[in-house]
Amino acid sequence: MSENAAVLRDVTFRYANGEQGALNSIDLEIKRGECVLLCGSSGCGKTTVTRLLNGLIPHYYEGELSGDVSVLGRDIRITAIGELAGTVGSVFQNPRSQFFCVDTTAEIAFGCENMGLPEAEIQNRIDKTVTEMHIEKLQDRSIFNLSGGEKQKIACAGVAAMLPELIVLDEPTSNLDLDAIDELREVIAAWKSQGKTIVVAEHRLGWLEGMCDRVIFMENGGISAIFSGTDFFAISTEKLNDMGLRTVHTDCNYLESETGLHAIKPYSGSEVITLEGFTYSYGGQDALDIGRLELPVGSVTAVVGHNGAGKSTFVKCLCGLQKRFRGTITVGGKRLRSKDMMRLSYMVMQDVNHQLFAETVLEEVMLGADEGSEAKAEQLLEKLGISHYKERHPMSLSGGQKQRVAIASALLAGKNLLVFDEPTSGLDFRSMECTAELLGSLDSDVTVLIVTHDMELIDRCCTHILHIENGRIQQVVDL
Of 305, 287, 303, 43, the closest CA to residue 176 belongs to 305
**Contact by Cβ (8 Å): 49, 28:** yes
Alpha-carbon span 460 to 250, nearest angstrom: 12
pLDDT the model gives residue 184: 82
Q: What is the pTM of this model?
A: 0.83
Given phi > 0 = left and psi -120 to 50 = alpha, else beta, which region is 385? left
Alpha-carbon span 148 to 394, nearest angstrom: 22
pLDDT the model gives residue 283: 73
Name 306's Cβ contacts closer than 8 Å, sequence gap at least 6: 177, 179, 180, 255, 469
Give the number of C-alpha atoms closer than 13 A to the C-alpha of residue 199, restricted to the C-beta side. Answer: 28
Of 446, 453, 448, the closest CA to residue 467 belongs to 453
Alpha-carbon span 362 to 479, nearest angstrom: 35
Provide the b/e sequence for 260-280 (b: ≥16 CB within 10 Å).
eeeebeebeeeebbebeebeb
Name 274's Cβ contacts closer than 8 Å, sequence gap at least 6: 292, 293, 294, 295, 329, 330, 331
Tens-digit pLDDT string for the chain (479 aa): 568 999 999 999 999 876 666 899 999 999 999 999 999 988 899 999 999 999 999 999 889 999 999 999 999 999 988 888 779 999 887 777 788 899 999 999 998 998 889 999 999 999 999 988 889 999 999 998 887 678 888 988 999 899 899 999 998 887 777 777 887 888 888 889 989 999 999 999 999 999 999 999 999 999 999 999 999 999 999 999 999 999 887 656 666 644 434 444 444 456 889 999 999 988 778 889 999 998 889 999 999 998 888 998 999 999 988 888 888 999 888 898 888 888 999 999 888 888 899 999 999 999 878 777 889 999 999 989 899 889 999 988 877 888 889 999 999 988 999 999 988 887 889 989 999 999 888 888 899 999 998 888 998 999 999 999 999 998 888 77
Name 361's Cβ contacts closer than 8 Å, sequence gap at least 6: 381, 386, 389, 390, 391, 392, 393, 394, 397, 405
pLDDT the model gives residue 333: 85
Of 191, 114, 201, the closest CA to residue 157 belongs to 191
pLDDT the model gives residue 210: 93
